Amino acid sequence: MSEARQFKSHGKAAGRHRLASFVLALACALVACSPDRSIHESSRTIVDELGRTIIIPEHAGRIVSLAPSITEALFALGVGGRVAGVTSYCDYPPEATLKEKVGDTLKPNIERIVGIKADLVIVSTSSQLEQYIQNLEGLGIPVYISNPRNLDQVLQSITSMGILVGAEDRARKLVSDMRARIDRVDSSLASAERPRVLFLLGTEPLITVGGGTFMDDLITRAGGRSISTEAGGEYPQYSMETAVAKQPEVIFVQFDEKQLPERLKQTPAGRANRVYHLDDDLVSRPGPRIVDGLEQMAIKIHPEVSWQ
């Protein structure tokens, strides 16, 4: 109130002049405060999985992972020692829990990431944190975005991250192992029927898995057909009517099976007791253990197939 009055007494032009000089001063202060943006001594250019070109240090030694799948991949690639920060979700492998936490369950703490002198931050679109990265890049910390939308892209992503952290050989070995296990599932299911599958992330309201997500692909590769592929959206709020009308034969839930809504107990899956709660971490993290999730899901969808 009083400020406004002051401006008035100086007249319009004076006010505008003041404002301009204030903005200028603020801008100068901001520039002075921002960290050294000059490129690291030895650096290289890399294109991330969203096609963004980023400049990263030759040998990133203080990596921050903002997704459990990324943390798992980095440890599997043998560079766990170079991981400086993880999220509070990152609980595998057990050593990961000893790392500094830079994010709670809601969003990463930018100050903490800067505070631990991160020289590379890796995020995944699967954890939906990518909107926070602009702040990091503004602070001169390179951000690599991983964007696996299906199983093949999970493998590609691990290969790319191998290149990113200079662990190409380990990545090649890891990916070929994963590939072999995926192929084994594929060939076992070559002539199998494809039952209708409903994957539920929540019940009030019903939240399902839409097309274009790696979980949708996981269901397909495990020999099922997701009934909610065409719903639109990645994790749509879904109609109970449609869920019942589509007569799912297998239902996977990410909560206690006993809490399945009453009306879904009347579906073929409910009547045949084919409602399963798989280990959430194995099926919802697009990392190295996704093949464990694939195998477990395939066994549940196809108990008739002889798995060795």
Q: Closer to another protein at the Cβ: 140 or 202?
A: 202
Minimum Å distance from CB 82 to another protein?
Answer: 31
**Residue 169 CA from chain centroid, whole number:** 24
What are the backbone dihedrals phi and psi of residue 83, each rounded to the nearest 5 degrees, phi first?
-80, 125
Q: Which amino acid, one-letter code, is at 131? A: Q
Cα–Cα distance between 82 and 78 in angstroms, integer? 9
Min dist CB 100 to another protein, Å, is 22
Q: How far is the CB of 103 from another protein (least distance, A)?
A: 14
Nearest distance from C-beta of residue 262 to another protein, angstroms: 7
**63-86: buried (b, 16+ CB within 10 Å) or exposed (e) per residue?**
bbbbbbbbbbbbbbbbbbebbbbb
Q: What are 218's two structure tokens?
A: 């996981």
DSSP label at 307?
-
Given the complex with another protein, which of 14 and 245 has the nearer CB atom? Answer: 245
**Which residues contact another protein by CB under 8 A?**
105-106, 202-207, 228, 231-233, 236-242, 244-245, 247, 255-256, 259, 261-263, 266
Q: Which is nearer to another protein, 93 or 205 (CB)?
A: 205
Closest to another protein by CB, 105 vs 191, is 105
The three state secondary structure string of 145-187 is EECCCCHHHHHHHHHHHHHHCCCHHHHHHHHHHHHHHHHHHHH
d(CA 213, CA 233): 9
Between 76 and 231, CB nearer to another protein: 231
CB 122 within 8 A of CB 142: no
From CA 58, how far away is CA 44, in angstroms rounded?
6
Nearer to another protein, 222 or 231 (CB): 231
Residue with tokens 């959430």: 280
Strands 143-146 and 120-124, how do they pair? parallel
Shortest approach of another protein to residue 8 CB, angstroms?
27
Residue nearer to another protein on the CB measure, 122 or 264: 264
Least spacing, CB of residue 238 vs another protein, in Å: 6
CB of 104 vs another protein, minimal distance in Å? 10
